[in-house]
Amino acid sequence: EVQLVQSGAEVKKSGESLKISCKGSGYVFSTYWIGWVRQVPGRGLEWVGVIYPGDSDTRYSPSFQGQVTMSVDKSTNTAYLQWGSLKASDTAIYYCARHQFITGGQFDYWGQGTQVTVSS
């Protein structure tokens, strides 16, 4: 069974750093991209970017380029999304989802989401 399991909710202060995770199982992790999506109530869903575990190739949305960093650890089948200095505007639910560049490969399985709350 394909599963993406994300790390738990985080409460941080502005300026702090944070790394959240997404662990894949039930499939060959290195052959599917992992995408990240942000959801803010009232702002809908936003595509953060994708990373390919096979070679760590990354593609960022221009809106998130330089604001977050995606990475992977193939040895543990885990993808990460991290911030060097959080802002209150980073408060959101972050989802990971797997993806392949084939018909039907786009975001077919999702993690349960990680709530990130940043207080100023």
Partner 1 sequence: DIQMTQSPSAMFASLGDRITITCRASQAISNSLAWFQQKPGNAPQRLIYAASFLQSGVPSRFSGSGSGTEFTLTISSLQPEDFATYFCLQYRNEPWTFGQGTKVEVK
Q: Which residues between 77 and 96 bind partner 1 (CB under 8 A)?
A: 95
* Using rule CB under 8 A, residue 111 touches partner 1: yes
Identified binder of partner 1 from the candidate list 10, 12, 73, 113, rule CB under 8 A: 113
Q: Which 3 state secondary structure label does DSSP give 75?
A: helix
Judged by CB under 8 A, which stretch of 17-25, 58-66, 67-75, 80-88 contacts partner 1? 58-66
Extended beta strands in 31-86, E state: 33-40, 44-52, 57-60, 69-73, 78-83
* Calpha distance 20→4 (Å, rounded): 13
Structural tokens at position 35: 């995408």
Residues lying near partner 1 in the complex (CB under 8 A) are found at 35, 44-47, 49, 59, 61-63, 95, 97, 103-104, 106-108, 110-113
